[in-house]
Amino acid sequence: MKNRIELPDPINVANGSRFALHIPVGPTYDRINLELGGTFTPAMISNLTFKINGKAVRNYKTGQVLDDINAMYGRGTYDATNRQLAMWFYRPEMEEVEDANLFALGTNNQLLRHDQGGRPVNGLFVRTVTIEGDISGATSPTLKAWARVATETKPLLFVEKVLYMPYNAPAGEGDYPNIPRSPLSILTAAFLSSAADDITQVRITANVNGSQEEPYKMTNLRNDEELVNDGRALVATYFHIDLIPTGQFGEGLPLGVLQDLRIKPTKTAAANIDIHAEFYDTVVGL
């Protein structure tokens, strides 16, 4: 069963300010909704950041990017009537409910078990959870927040990370090197956005124990066809690399054994590409 709860009002909600939503610890969150009011849209939020214990876990160039990613996964999106911008933790696109629940944001510290030294062994002690963003171009903005939560709570063990990486790409094939990775992380998706919408192919190359491999290579036409067949939505300007197309937890690209990981987009003209990479990971390092 799911419940819906009101969250505390965000602070510093004003044009030219950085708002902060302080999320109560204890529940297990499926998603957190930001309800925008006034002349205020997701595109007017920049450097949107989700933090656990003060450390950034997800970063989006703008709130519009978050909404675009929701659209690509077939989740609900912002419109002028509902005015809802949602940050999902539960993964409704996964095939099994157990997998969908795995990354729900558990914050129940009372369920943590500890070793003889007092260190948690089944999760992270969560002190703070926040969502922050810079507001610009808005007129009389207002912001409310609410959440869908599970009745059965859990501690935090797994997280979904999103990393924003701007890239000044050349014409032809580019090479974005050294994608950050941790020993237990799994790359599940990457969203490459170019204003000209002229990315024609993307390759991912990896160095595994000295051997160069190519785990992904798709043209834009083939990729769009596969995305539609797998139930994803196409969003203009994006090349969506989907490494969990059938919603199986075992899919994705494990990164722990890689010495190097590169994304190589091919585009018609030199211009900036906004790359948002999505990872599954444990709480180690948070």
pLDDT tens per residue, range 93-109? 999 999 999 999 999 99
DSSP 17: S
Region 72-76 average pLDDT: 95
pTM equals 0.96
Q: Is the pLDDT of residue 64 over 80?
A: yes
Per the structure block, which two tokens stand in for 170?
């050349």
| pLDDT of amino acid 228 | 96
- Give the per-residue pLDDT at 191: 98
pLDDT per residue over 182-236, tens digit each? 888 999 999 999 999 999 999 999 988 888 899 999 999 999 999 999 999 999 9
Q: In the prediction, which pLDDT does 178 show? A: 78
What per-residue confidence (pLDDT) applies to 55?
A: 96
Where is mean pLDDT largest: 22-31, 258-267, 275-284?
Answer: 22-31
Per-residue confidence at 79, pLDDT binned at 50, 70, 90? very high
Q: What is the pLDDT of residues 121-159, one digit of tens each?
A: 889 999 999 999 999 999 999 999 999 999 999 999 999
E-strand ranges in the chain read 2-6, 18-22, 28-39, 45-52, 55-62, 84-88, 105-106, 129-135, 139-150, 158-169, 172-173, 186-193, 199-208, 211-219, 238-242, 253-254, 258-267, 271-282
d(CA 273, CA 164): 11
Cα–Cα distance measured from residue 273 to residue 193, given in angstroms and rounded to the nearest whole number:
6
Average pLDDT on 69-92 reads: 96
Contact 179, 164 (CB under 8 A): no
Contact, 252 vs 170, CB < 8 A?
no
Question: Measured between alpha carbons, how far is residue 111 from residues 81, 99, 255 in Å?
Answer: 40, 20, 29
Residue 83: name the closest of 136, 30, 23, 146 by CA. Answer: 146
Say which residue the tokens 């690209």 belong to: 253
CA–CA gap between residue 266 and residue 167 (Å, rounded): 13
Looking at every residue in the chain, the average pLDDT score rounds to 95
Res 60: pLDDT: 98
Residues 6+ apart with CB under 8 A from 76: 70, 82, 84, 86
What percent of the chain has a predicted confidence (pLDDT) above 90? 84
User: In this predicted structure, what is the pLDDT of residue 285?
Assistant: 65
DSSP-assigned letter for residue 151: S
The residue-averaged pLDDT of 48-69 equals: 98
